[in-house]
Amino acid sequence: MFYFWEEEISSVLMKQSLSPKEQSQYEQLSEKKQPDWLAGRIAAKHIISQMIRNQWHREVAPIDIEIISDSHTRPDFRILHHDDIVFHSEYSLSLSHTKGKAIAGLSLIEETGYVGVDIEHDRECTEAFSRSFLTPKEYDSCIRYHIPFLQIWCYKEAFLKAIGAGLALHPHAIETTINNRGELLSLIQDGQERRIRPEKLSFPGCPFGAILYVEPYGE
């Protein structure tokens, strides 16, 4: 499941949504990074509250949902002031944001695997930049099918987020196969095909996007 956020965030909504720790994190960011970071938190809290509503039939305020993340791990979350809400299964959370818009994906790992999401606004990609993250096969496929390079980037970025690697794993270690509609057919990591369930996404202002559910190794 995923949720896309594109609305402007008022100061009132921000105060109602951020925990004290998150408010402190927000204030430490540069003004340029604050809108995207905030949109990501709002999207994540929305999808988590929806999951709690479906599972416990309870309403939890956004300020009581705290997103935990750093640059080295997958984002996680915890519920504040509701000790009776106990998760007996592990969830996977993924975030992506660009130009004040954001998407959050949430999955129950034992059912659908790890989730990764990515969205991108339209921008020009030079050949040098495109080849820095596309393998020769992927580059040729984009040219042959007239598929924007950024769509392949979204698939790769979503996968890297799902497995918790981020850009610590070079994009060339992953090779995708797409059809003439730009849909992902398969994904190879270091010579091994990964079991995935991909979906191509597109939103206003973010024409390129993807959500991937990735089965863990050995399961």
| DSSP state at residue 215 | P
pTM: 0.92
Give the model's pLDDT for residue 218. 47
pLDDT tens digits along 88-124: 789 999 999 999 999 999 999 999 999 999 999 999 8
Give the model's pLDDT for residue 166. 75
Kindly tell me the burial class for residue 23, based on how many C-beta atoms sit within 10 Å of its own C-beta (0-12, 13-18, 19 or more).
middle
Structure tokens at 210: 């993807």
Instruction: Give the sign of the dihedral formed by CA 212, CA 92, CA 117, CA 62.
Output: positive
pLDDT tens digits along 44-53: 999 999 999 9
What's the chain's average pLDDT?
Answer: 93
Place of tokens 């979906």: 199
Q: How far apart are CA 149 and CA 138, in angstroms?
A: 9
Higher pLDDT, 71 or 177: 177
Rounded to 5°, the CA angle 161-118-153 comes to 90
Higher pLDDT, 38 or 86: 38
Give the model's pLDDT for residue 153. 95
Alpha-carbon 82 to chain mean position: 26
pLDDT tens digits along 28-42: 999 999 999 999 999
Range scoring the smallest mean pLDDT among 35-44, 149-158, 160-169? 160-169
